[in-house]
Amino acid sequence: MLSWDQSSSIALMQRERAWVEIDLAALSHNIQQIRGLLAAQTDLMAVVKADAYGHGAVTVAQTVLQSGATWLGVATIPEGIELREAGIDAPILLMGATHTAEQIQAIAHWHLQPTLCTPKQALVFAEAMSLSRSPLPVHIKLDTGMSRLGTSWQQSVEFVQLVQRLPNLAIASIYSHLATADDPDPTIMRQQQQRYETAIQACGFSPTLNLHRPRLHLANSAATLTDANLHYDLVRTGLVIYGLYPAEHLENRIDLKPVMQVKARVTQVKTIQPGTGVSYGHRFIADKETQIAVVGIGYADGIPRNLSNQMTVLVRGQRVPQIGSVTMDQIMLDVSSIPALQEGEVVTLLGQDGNQQILADDWAKTLGTISWEILCGFKHRLPRVAVGHPRLQRSKSKVSDRSR
């Protein structure tokens, strides 16, 4: 009779069919590189929505705060609650829109800081907070050209004045979001910046003076790399903290290291004869005797099926082609160039092996999409395994009084 204990569970995890490695040293390095672009008084927000772009929100949040970030950004209330339940007490901006009394109570209870997008929403918040003993920090969102969340910049004065009059709400920041910061042509970005500054000044605030005014923020990852004049009081960085550049023309601004690697194990090795089809639909047919490896990862784990017959992976530091249709739980490789490959050997789908590297950018280019989507696509049945030790510059993040 076999017994099952904790050691058995650990051994099983060590032999997992597929997993995602998160390099904490690379993550810390990226934060410090970004921090080096910023003035001392400019705070760094790490955007950890969507489970930190698939990297694991709690682990990422703990590491970035120790490495120089001072704020966290999430999209939903449950994302914020997960961080609070993990003991994280840094200020958390809730960037999505919320409207119901139940949501507002949760926001207040968990000390999250919501985004207000419309006057109607502000009135709902004020009503829900009517019995509160302390004001709720809120962040006003202006639409300067993204045409997504936020009140038009042309109505900024009325919106800001309304929120200023409402009891139990305190304006913590006024912000907007850039639509084309990753475009080499800065025309639209500069137009948005001008609209933003016009709105701020119309509200009686100066972008260059920060006495007794809400903090201002506009820059996403691309804008953070582009121009220090876009930094204001805080920058909101997502993709760059995970080690990828938002555009090719920004790749020389700082040295980033990819944080995520995706790996899986060979589960079977076999030899097929010429004319043999591989996988569903026989979209690959061997033209010669071919050694193939079956690998335990598939589209249910986040490998896009449209990469079928279009991707390579790394085995022993060499690139080998994936062949046939990607299936739900498995892919097949042509490993004829790898002598005596054994079951259990590790295959790198994203990441580095020897002198070879495959990035999420490579998959994105093949698929005609963006690297953000690739990173967020890896499912939670792939365990996240932290590797490396972050090189920390500070033991505790320092947050100014106005951020609380």
pLDDT, residue 5, reads 53
Q: Check if 280 is active-site.
A: yes
Q: Where among 182, 209, 244 does a domain terminate? A: 244
pLDDT band at 375 (very low <50, low <70, confident <90, very high): very high
Last residue of a domain, one of 322, 343, 358: 358
Assess whether 299 carries a catalytic annotation: no
d(CA 236, CA 98): 20
Q: What angle do CA 235, 239, 244 make, to 5 degrees?
A: 125
Q: What is residue 209's predicted lDDT score, i.e. its pLDDT? A: 75
For residue 10, pLDDT beyond 60 = no
For the cut 70, the answer to whether the pLDDT of residue 395 exceeds it is: no
Strand partners, 356: 353
Please check whether residues 178 and 324 belong to one and the same domain.
no
3-state secondary structure of 347: strand
Q: What is the domain-level CATH number for residue 29?
A: 3.20.20.10
Summarize the confidence of residues 382-391 as an average pLDDT.
90
pLDDT value at position 393?
A: 52
Query: What pairs with residue 92 in β-bridges?
Result: 72
Tell me the C-alpha distance between 192 and 255, whole Å: 28
In a domain, 144, yes or no: yes
> What are φ and ψ of residue 78, in 5° steps?
-55, -35
Do 72 and 117 belong together in one domain?
A: yes
Instruction: With respect to residue 403, please indicate whether it lies within any of the assigned structural domains.
Output: no
Q: Domain containing 274 — which CATH number?
A: 2.40.37.10
Same-domain check for residues 216 and 279: no
For tokens 């004869």, name the residue: 273
Q: What was the pLDDT predicted at 132?
A: 87
Residues 329 and 194 in one domain: no
Question: Mean pLDDT for the chain?
Answer: 93
pLDDT of residue 15: 66
Domain encompassing residue 332: 260-358
Q: Which of 120, 270, 280, 365 is catalytic?
A: 280
Asked if residue 142 has pLDDT above 50, the reply is yes
Q: Are residues 290 and 202 in the same domain?
A: no
**Same-domain status, 235 and 337:** no
User: Is a pLDDT exceeding 90 seen at residue 296?
Assistant: yes
Name the domain count of the chain: 2
Instruction: Please report, rounded to a whole number, the percentage of residues in the chain having pLDDT higher than 90.
Output: 88
State the pLDDT confidence band at 389, using cuts at 50, 70 and 90: confident
Q: Are residues 280 and 210 in the same domain?
A: no
The pLDDT, as a whole number, for residue 322 is 98
pLDDT at 346 over 80: yes
pLDDT in tens, 12-46: 445 689 999 999 999 999 999 999 999 999 999 99
Asked if 133 and 143 touch (Cβ cutoff 8 Å), the reply is no
**Contact of 385 with 20, CB cutoff 8 Å:** yes
- Give the chain's largest Cα–Cα span: 78
Q: What is the pLDDT of residues 69-88, one digit of tens each?
A: 999 999 999 999 999 999 99
391 vs 385: which has the higher pLDDT = 385
For residue 184, what is the enclosing H or E element?
none
Q: What is the pLDDT of residues 193-226, one digit of tens each?
A: 999 999 999 999 988 877 689 999 999 999 999 9
Catalytic residue among 49, 53, 245, 299: 49
Q: pLDDT tens, 266-277?
A: 999 999 999 999
Asked if the model's pLDDT at residue 172 lies above 50, the reply is yes
Bridge partners (DSSP) of residue 73 are: 47, 93
Same domain? For 148 and 189 the reply is: yes
